[in-house]
A = this chain, B = another copy of it.
Amino acid sequence: MAPIKNGRLLFNEVPTGYPIPGRTTVYDGSGTIDVESEPLNGSILVKTLVLSVDPYLRGKMRAPEAKSYNPPFALGEPLYSHGVGKVVRSEHANFKPGDYVYGSLLYAEYFVPKDVSYLQVLVRPEPSLPWSVYIGAAGMPGQTAYYGWKAYSKAKAGETVFVSTAAGPVGSMVVQLAKQDGCKVIASAGSDEKVKFAKEIGADVAFNYKTTNTEEVLAKEGPIDIYWDNVGGSTLDAVLGNVAPFARIIICGYISQYNGEEPYGIKNMRQVLTNRVAINGVLVFDHHARYEEEFYKVVPKKLATGEFKYSEDITRGLDKGGEAILEVQKGTNTAKKVIVVAND
């Protein structure tokens, strides 16, 4: 068979602020691949179907000197993130052609992973849910919410919960977990459309933080027993100024400072003492061992029946990947951002 096009989205330059499409990332449509003869060297050939675009990707767009849990992207190489792909050919015992794989996928239409340990065969517990959901509400973002909520919320019915970025794939899952636990939920988001979605999934109070003062809402609707933080900075400070005794704060994201912003100085830290607050940082991969099995038993079913809701904002084609990434950093996406690279 003749070689076919194999477009890729490459990391081209370390950004200082927002990642600029065509500069920070560059689409290379010039490559080709012969899917029948591409050497596998004991690995597999993956056709990429869907890719998850998440806030944390900005942390990987850095010079390799800066230390983090999160390894940097390599300049000149394709980006990668959670995704779902289809096995086209295999020389590895764990995978056979036609298998679907979930894990770390390259931003390439086709690729041969150097290390297949980042991939697992994905058998959808609920086949009615599209693959994109398995990188969203039923994938890493949903897991992040579920694991963090189970590990650190200590939620009791009647408590007041505040969720920032409440229309995103993590925040919207937290809103629904909190409602399921009988809590009052205050939700913030960055557009009226997102606020509408937060209300649809059960938030008791939802507001657009760009047009409504967060501190005033918290002073009126608080004090806050549980805060799910995806943004950090002044929002976190406002919550600390309105915490209830023995509040729990779960820091899961800090997008207010991902794009070169001057760090905001948190002034209300003394409240951690006065109100005996527990603050914990949560990253999904620390908690798979404890909660992954439970997650796949519980969450996809609730999504399939509609008990839990999700919302997606789909970009088609890797050539638009840079724009998709920028939208998520700026919050101009309307819901969970997915790049659909190919149809199944």
Interface residues of A (CB under 8 A from B): 68-70, 232, 236, 245, 251-254, 257, 263-270, 272-283, 286
Q: Is the CB of B266 within 8 A of A269?
A: yes
Q: Is the CB of A254 within 8 A of B270?
A: yes
Cα distance A282–B276 when bound, in Å?
A: 6
Query: For residue A273, which residue of chain B has the nearest CB?
Result: B281
* Residue of A268, A272, A276, A281 ringed by the most chain B CB atoms within 10 A: A281
Q: Which residues of B contact A282 (CB under 8 A)?
A: 273, 276
Q: How far is the CB of A102 from chain B (nearest CB, A)?
A: 23
Cα distance A257–B275 when bound, in Å?
A: 16
When A and B form their complex, which 8 residue pairs have the shortest distance between CB atoms, in order from nearest?
A265-B265, A279-B279, A263-B267, A266-B266, A273-B281, A276-B281, A272-B281, A254-B270
Q: Is the CB of A251 within 8 A of B232?
A: no
Interface secondary structure of A, over-half rule: loop
Given A69-B245, A280-B278, verify A263-B268 contact (CB < 8 Å): yes
Q: Is the CB of B253 within 8 A of A273?
A: yes
Partner of A280, one of B266, B276, B286: B276
Given A278-B280, A280-B278, verify A254-B267 contact (CB < 8 Å): no
Q: Is the CB of B279 within 8 A of A278?
A: yes
Cα distance A234–B298 when bound, in Å?
A: 44
Q: How far is the CB of A54 from chain B (nearest CB, A)?
A: 14
Q: How far is the CB of A231 from chain B (nearest CB, A)?
A: 11
Q: Which residues of B contact A257 (CB under 8 A)?
A: 270
Cα distance A273–B281 when bound, in Å?
A: 4
Partner of A265, one of B232, B266, B270: B266
Given A245-B69, A278-B280, verify A251-B273 contact (CB < 8 Å): yes
Given A281-B276, A286-B276, verify A267-B270 contact (CB < 8 Å): no
Q: How far is the CB of A244 from chain B (nearest CB, A)?
A: 11
Q: Which residues of B contact A254 (CB under 8 A)?
A: 269-270, 273
